[in-house]
Amino acid sequence: MYPTLNELFNKAVAAHGEEIALRMLIPKERKRGRGIQLVLNEISYDRLGEMVGRLAMALDELGVKKGDKVALISKPRAAWATAFFAILRCGAIVLPLDPELQEGEIERILVEAEVKGVIVSGLKIHDLQTIKSNTLSDLILISMDRPKSDDVHFLDKLLLGKKALPEVDVSPDDMAVLMYTSGTTGNAKGAMLLHRNISSNAITGVKVADISERDNFLTIVPWYHIYGLTVSLLVPLFGGASTTYAPVDRDLTTVMTRARPTLLLGVPKLYNVLYGKVMTSIEGSLLKKTIYKLSPTLMGKLVRKKLFGKDFRYFTSGGAPFSREVANGFRKMGIGVMEGYGLTETSPVLAMCERFTTEPGMIAYENVELRIDKPDASGIGEIVARGPNIMAGYYKNEAATAEVIDKEGWFHTGDLGRMEGDRVILSGRAKNVIVLETGKNVYPEEVEWELSRIIGIDELMVYEADRQGAPAVAVKIYPKWADLKEKSITSPEQAIDYLWEEIKKHNENLAPFKRIKYRDVITLMDEPFEKSVKMDIKRYKYSKG
């Protein structure tokens, strides 16, 4: 039986007391108006444990008891981590929400989840006061920032004079987190994640990533998403490491230099940008180009030292498919890349690749079973999984639960893939598959990967369009106008002409049935695609016309 998250947290605090648990980036104004200075605020394991115990006592006194649900709405900060573990210490359930959700979205989830209270950043407090006034009159409101209203508790003030709440009896089979899916389908559901679901995944993560007190994680992934929560908060803490969180809107190059991480946790888009900058720098210097040609690993050492420091170990990526070209490009330079695959409902990791693998695909996590359901002639079918990390079900939605968890306990991911030995190789989402008149299946993600290499494309989405009464492979593109202007392309018409010629070239790398065959199925977007927390495009909003 796997332990509770409370047990793992207490064990980490006891073992690593004065060591640094969190480094939080705080922007402060320089003296005499000289701009913003980035300060790393350090919190030890002991300090975090102390604040958790005191906040848990405050929550208990406010009426939060075992089994209650408390929402947590904020970007990552020390108060977020404190609140997360304090809620669990009460025996209550954490409901993390993206602070960019709108008032109506938040209200729907809070009502459905029957929350007892909300711990929220000051930026969202007005929305929560409106929700309390209109719908949830008994809602306990706690602000991480000093509130301007007497009906809102101030988190810092709640901690004053408090002793630690004695341990509440919590079982590994109790719900720890009610995590709402990102809503890429337009219908977010609450995944009930038990203590053992998440702890089993975190314990395996510590082993697979070889985490110890020598490690310093730098993460841009928010904790209100399950990937960020498990991989970039819980895994480091339970492994005795420290975590530095940096918002994506900061100067990451400066942050990396200051933080001196041993591991960087991000999403593919970050690594694509980093790789592009590295290769541009190499191509722009005869010396660097020569070093790279003669010894790619020496160039890799220089890159690591400049960006991260000499102790840097490797990248970890999740949340979306990673370009093999970029991953292998870093590996060629001796910079490891670990890519993971998983879902909210699986706490989240199902499989992960080795740092320097040359093989496609990933290997299942410890005690996780993976197989392909109903494979076609090419071996591609739906990936199904079974293991201790699979959610208990969707909250108050037995019908939706029955659709994804069968009677034998297999979770149907909705993702397509095939198995090669013990490695699972992803093909795409089942719901995204384009079925042509010939019966051939086109997986948009494969086409997107090929076309994404075209200079002048910032974002794109391949989808099924209706052309003269028949299904056709089509693409919507958000151009990278800065690149296009360097080619003297300034109008949409010129852009489509250029992109069509480039697409025809890249079509040669795709099977004929997968190709974009007509110029009139290319659409330019005026603005970036709307995305989920995981940075997935919300395809349902763009899949027609």
CATH number at residue 537: 3.30.300.30
Asked, for residue 350, whether it belongs to a domain, the answer is yes
The domain that holds 323 is classified in CATH as 3.40.50.12780
Domain check: are 279 and 395 in the same one? Answer: yes
Please report the pLDDT score of residue 182 as a whole number: 54
Please report the pLDDT score of residue 276 as a whole number: 87
For helices 296-307 and 252-259, the axis angle rounded to 10 degrees is: 90
Domain check: are 319 and 334 in the same one? Answer: yes
Asked, for residue 535, whether it belongs to a domain, the answer is yes
> Can you tell me the distance from the alpha carbon of 430 to that of 490, in angstroms, rounded to the nearest whole number?
37
Domain check: are 376 and 439 in the same one? Answer: no
DSSP state, residue 233: I
523 close to 477: Cβ distance less than 8 angstroms: yes
DSSP-derived 3-state class of residue 219: strand
Q: Which residue type does 490 have?
A: T
**The last residue of a domain, from among 430, 451, 477:** 430
Domain check: are 85 and 138 in the same one? Answer: yes
Output the tens digit of pLDDT for each of the chain's 545 residues. 899 999 999 999 999 999 999 998 776 665 665 555 667 789 999 999 999 999 999 999 999 999 999 999 999 999 999 999 999 999 999 999 988 888 888 998 999 999 999 999 988 999 999 999 999 999 999 999 999 888 899 999 999 999 999 999 999 999 999 999 854 344 578 999 999 999 999 999 999 999 999 999 999 888 998 999 999 999 999 999 999 998 765 667 777 877 889 999 988 878 888 898 899 999 999 999 999 999 999 999 999 988 888 899 999 998 777 878 889 999 999 999 999 999 999 999 999 999 999 899 999 999 999 999 999 888 999 999 999 999 999 999 999 999 999 999 999 998 889 999 999 998 877 777 787 866 677 878 878 888 988 999 999 999 988 888 778 899 999 999 999 999 999 999 999 999 999 999 998 888 788 899 999 999 999 999 987 666 678 887 887 65
Asked, for residue 27, whether it belongs to a domain, the answer is yes
Domain check: are 99 and 189 in the same one? Answer: yes
Domain check: are 26 and 62 in the same one? Answer: yes
Asked, for residue 525, whether it belongs to a domain, the answer is yes
Number of domains in the chain: 3
Please report the pLDDT score of residue 439 as a whole number: 63
DSSP string, 469-532: TEEEEEEEEEE-HHHHHHTT--SHHHHHHHHHHHHHHHHTTS-GGGS---GGGEEE-SSPPPB-
Domain check: are 412 and 464 in the same one? Answer: no
DSSP state, residue 419: E
171 close to 93: Cβ distance less than 8 angstroms: no
Please report the pLDDT score of residue 178 as a whole number: 98
**The last residue of a domain, from among 382, 401, 430:** 430
Domain check: are 360 and 450 in the same one? Answer: no
Please report the pLDDT score of residue 184 as a whole number: 38
> Can you tell me the distance from the alpha carbon of 265 to that of 216, in angstroms, rounded to the nearest whole number?
11
Domain check: are 521 and 396 in the same one? Answer: no
Asked, for residue 162, whether it belongs to a domain, the answer is yes
**Domain extent at residue 73:** 5-194
| Helices (runs of H) and strands (runs of E) counted in the chain | 18, 26
Asked, for residue 201, whether it belongs to a domain, the answer is no
H runs (alpha helix) in 91-247: 103-113, 125-134, 155-159, 195-208, 226-229, 235-238
CA angle 206, 212, 216 (to 5 degrees): 100
Domain check: are 380 and 474 in the same one? Answer: no
Please report the pLDDT score of residue 471 as a whole number: 85
> Can you tell me the distance from the alpha carbon of 344 to that of 348, in angstroms, rounded to the nearest whole number?
5
Residue 162: name the closest of 246, 61, 92 by CA: 61
**The last residue of a domain, from among 410, 430, 450:** 430
Domain check: are 13 and 37 in the same one? Answer: yes
Asked, for residue 238, whether it belongs to a domain, the answer is no
Please report the pLDDT score of residue 29 as a whole number: 60
The domain that holds 55 is classified in CATH as 3.40.50.980
Asked, for residue 261, whether it belongs to a domain, the answer is no
Domain check: are 426 and 501 in the same one? Answer: no
Please report the pLDDT score of residue 183 as a whole number: 44
